[in-house]
Amino acid sequence: MTALARKLDSLRERGGIRHVDIANLLGTRPETVSRWNQGKAYPHSGTEKELLELEYIVDQLSDFYEPSEARQFLFSRQRLLSGQSPAELIKNGKIDEVIALVARIRDGVYS
């Protein structure tokens, strides 16, 4: 199993994120994500960075959410994001806003 395949498995196991979700979030096709998983292709550097950021977010969420809850968080509108979902922000290149929100939630949970 490649390092990239392990990352994709981690997203599925810890965040309930499927290949189709990853494809939608990163602006690619599910078939492309499947090829990454099989080691037949690799993401471009910008896409790989976004994938790693997504894994970081899911890792943080997994400390206090079950996988299905983490997935719901990502795809649900959030009051603290002015009614946008984290997934929308990630798709629009505003992943730092999502990371900041997760940090705020995490600080509230662990303070």
Could you tell me where the beta strands, DSSP code E, fall in 4-110?
Answer: none
Task: Give the tens place of pLDDT for each residue, 21-76.
Answer: 999 999 999 999 999 999 999 999 999 999 999 999 999 999 999 999 999 999 99
Contact at 8 Å (CB) between 95 and 31? no
pTM: 0.92
d(CA 96, CA 43): 20
Residue 36 belongs to domain spanning:
3-110
d(CA 98, CA 105): 11
- Side chain identity, residue 7: K
pLDDT at 98 over 70: yes
Contact at 8 Å (CB) between 36 and 28? no
Task: Give the tens place of pLDDT for each residue, 70-96.
Answer: 999 999 999 999 999 999 999 999 999
Rg of the chain over Cα atoms, rounded to whole angstroms, equals 14
Into how many domains does the chain fold? 1
Confidence of residue 1 (pLDDT cuts 50, 70, 90): confident
